[in-house]
Amino acid sequence: MRRAVWLLVVSVVTVGILFLFVFPTRTLVEQRHEMAAIHRQLSALDAENASLRGKVAALHQPATIERIAGQEFGLVMSGQKAYAVLPAAGPPARHVATTHAPTAAGPAHRHWWRALELWRDL
């Protein structure tokens, strides 16, 4: 009986220590890891915001607006002329002879010569 009481007391003290120290400590460590990850994400977002602020400032400059309007939209200032440079002409396309099967446009006997062309190509 005495041994059962002693075992019960030790078990209760062990569970109490777990609830008072181990579980909160584990939770604290997990929260610190989460905070570190959030700080890294915040730093990346701050850097991206700084980059975007620079782009916004550049978009308020007339020279940047003119460059983008010309490059992306093909616009020119009044009094200027726009020229389009076309690529060099390539070699002419080769015509490839094809054979056609009879269609619903006419009876098959009207297309007998196509069968002869097919035979000749073999």
Average pLDDT value for residue range 68-92: 82
Instruction: Return d(Cα 77, Cα 30) in angstroms, integer.
Output: 60
> Whole-prediction pTM value?
0.44
Beta strands in the chain (DSSP E): none
Structural domain boundaries in the chain:
1-76
Instruction: Return d(Cα 89, Cα 54) in angstroms, integer.
Output: 42
- For residue range 44-75, list pLDDT tens digits in order: 999 999 999 999 999 999 999 888 888 888 88
Tokens coding 43: 């730093």
pLDDT the model gives residue 49:
97
Average pLDDT value for residue range 75-99: 76
Q: Under a CB-based contact definition with an 8 Å cutoff, are residues 102 and 87 in contact?
A: no
| Average pLDDT value for the chain | 79
- For residue range 7-43, list pLDDT tens digits in order: 888 888 888 887 777 778 888 889 999 999 999 999 9
Beta strands in 6-88 (DSSP E): none
